[in-house]
Amino acid sequence: MTIKSVAVNTTDLKRSVAFYTAVLGAGVVSQTETKAVLDLYSGNIEISLVPSDPSWSTWRDDSQQAGFRHIGFKVPEVDPVAEAARAAGAMIRIEPLDAFGDVRLAFFFDPDGTLLEVVEKDLMYTDIAGADTVAFERSLGVPPRPRLDHVACTTVDLHAAVSRWEARGLHYMGQLTDPAHPRGFQLHYVRDQGTVVELMTFTGVGVYPRAPQVGVPGFGAALVDTDLPPGCFSLGSDPQGREIFADQDSLTIARL
């Protein structure tokens, strides 16, 4: 199973298109009154912007909350993208900094509160489990403009989450551990040729659940190209008439 597109719900489609094109250099593949499809130099993964009504979201800017956390992009340089985000009026969540894993990164919010990360350089994993998969990732090189790289999700049960993604055809690459983090923060990575899923866990504190939602502003769903595995449950249809499911971590997923 490959994540072929990421749906982001927006209360102002034109505003969001302008933001993603100006800040991340996205190309507009298609645009109508009800949807815009953007290319983020990923080859086969796109962002679909979908209008939604303003409503209350249960998403919290707290990595201990299970489910979707952010969308990540590989970039040639972090600082110019962060400056473009600031110029576009974005709230900067984390200013550009050199982080553990030997990468430079920054976080900011899109106009509807979707958390976005930009990352410069290849990640140096604390432990590598899939050398071939890591080698493939590094062979992609530095993109000339921002490339959609990963979807991040906090998981309640790491072993179960890795097993679910491996059953979908992804491969466990390895982990990144920050030894100085007070909450025992760890990052784990699974991928196939087009998809990276970043799984967040904590060893020192618990993870609390989120009630998954459909059609609220922000992250909508990861759009996949195959049937979903057992364990996902239907949440109903989004404004596009697409059935949305949630997995055991409340990450929302839909079939293309």
Per-residue pLDDT reduced to its tens digit, 54-109: 888 999 999 999 999 999 999 999 999 999 999 999 999 999 999 999 999 999 99
Which domains are seen in the chain, by residue range? 3-57+211-255 (3.10.180.10), 67-202 (3.10.180.10)
Give CA–CA dist 219/199, Å, rounded: 16
Q: With pLDDT > 90 as the criterion, what percentage of the chain qualifies?
A: 75
* Residues in the chain with pLDDT values less than 70: 1, 42-44, 229
Q: Is 241 exposed, middle or buried (0-12, 13-18, 19+ CB in 10 A)?
A: exposed
pLDDT of residue 129: 94
pLDDT at 190: 96
Would you say 217 and 113 are in contact if contact means Cβ atoms under 8 Å apart? yes
What is the predicted pLDDT for the residue at 44?
64
Residue 134's pLDDT is: 94
Read off the pLDDT of residues 21-31 as tens digits, 9 standing for 90 and up. 999 999 999 99
Contacts of 102 (CB under 8 A, 6+ apart): 121, 122, 123, 124
CA dihedral 247, 253, 254, 255 (to 10 degrees): -80
Structure letter (DSSP) for residue 129:
S
Tokens encoding 249: 């971590």
Quote the pLDDT of residue 5: 87
How many Å apart are CA 116 and CA 151, to the nearest integer? 10
Contact 107, 8 (CB under 8 A): no
Mean pLDDT of the chain: 92
